[in-house]
Structure 1
Amino acid sequence: MVTGIAHICILSRDLAATEKFYVEILGMRKKFDFLRSGQRIGFYLEVGANQFIEVFQKSDREIPHSSAITHFCLQVNDIQAVSHHLHKHQIDHQAPKLGADQSWQVWCNDPDGIAIELHQYTALSSQFTGKDCQVNW
């Protein structure tokens, strides 16, 4: 059912310094920015084929005590089937929704409370088009 890890999400105190480290030092490619009211609040880094790191400003999101990683994301082929499967196994989850990046997502938590995003790309997904995401959350 799961076909790979789509992205991890990390928080940054300094977006420019984080971008410089991952792009200039480690050689990743910035794919697109997250914008809110014209202000950059984060960005996506391309790690490899369909593999990404999502970065947001620390001040924009709460950080758990021990980590700046907020969730991990697993790529799936059929978001509706995944939602049905979770329901069948009585796993509490959010209904499938189209995210700001134009990818389908379902959210749940593992038994320890770790947030998991299950993610299905579409032809319009920013991860493929490079189009910036306009967020309203």
Structure 2
Amino acid sequence: MIKVKQLAHVCIFADDLDVTRSFYRDVLGMDTQFNFLRDGKIFGFYLNCGGRSHIEVFQKNGARYSDLNQINHLCLEVEDIDAAIAHIRSKGIDVTPRKLACDDTCQAWLRDPNDVKIELFEYTEKSAQFVGGDRIADW
């Protein structure tokens, strides 16, 4: 039997690696864990999401997000969603207001330079992820 420990990484494609790295570093505060090199040139990198979780990014010219992608979005847990929203806005990036979702988590949404949807999460004491219980979707 297999036992999954946690999500290791989510992989995204980027049209411009430098712009993408700057967004995740400067807007979301995620450091590069390491780079992928081929023929002495960087063609991808791993971003540290905390713990043992990462976002893997690879160069792909013309990469653009589509709602038809099999993976719809990535979600990042933050310590203080209000502070995160304020910081993101200070960088000139659009982010939705804080919302208490039907699963009793606080959430906000933004997009990276490749149009990948990013959900920010702040858990509460009542979050369904910890207390269980079915929830009625409000979207």
- Give the TM-score normalised by structure 2: 0.52
**Partner Cα distance (1:26, 1:71) in 2:** 26
**Partner Cα distance (2:3, 2:75) in 1:** 22
**Partner Cα distance (1:26, 1:112) in 2:** 34
Aligned residue identity for 1:64: D
Other structure's SS at 1:134 match: coil
* Aligned counterpart, 1:82: 84
Other structure's SS at 1:107 match: strand
Q: Which has the higher strand share?
A: 1
Q: How many residues align?
A: 81
**Partner Cα distance (1:26, 1:113) in 2:** 34
Other structure's SS at 2:73 match: strand
* Aligned counterpart, 1:70: 72
User: 1:132, CA displacement in angstroms?
Assistant: 1.2
User: 1:75, CA displacement in angstroms?
Assistant: 0.5
What CA deviation, in whole Å up to 9, does each residue of 1:52-95 have, x standing for no partner? xxxxxxxxxxx734x31100000000000001001111110100
Structure 2 residue runs without a partner (length 5+): 8-65
Aligned residue identity for 1:107: W
- Give the TM-score normalised by structure 1: 0.53
User: 1:26, CA displacement in angstroms?
Assistant: 5.1
Instruction: Name the structure, 1 or 2, with higher relative contact order (CA <8 Å, separation 6+).
Output: 1
User: 1:47, CA displacement in angstroms?
Assistant: 4.8
Matches within 5 A, 1:115-134: 115-134=117-136
Structure 1 residue runs without a partner (length 5+): 1-24, 29-45, 49-62
**Partner Cα distance (1:27, 1:70) in 2:** 25
* Aligned counterpart, 1:92: 94
Runs ≥4 in structure 1, deviation > 3 angstroms?
Answer: 25-28
**Structure 1 vs Structure 2 CA RMSD:** 2.2
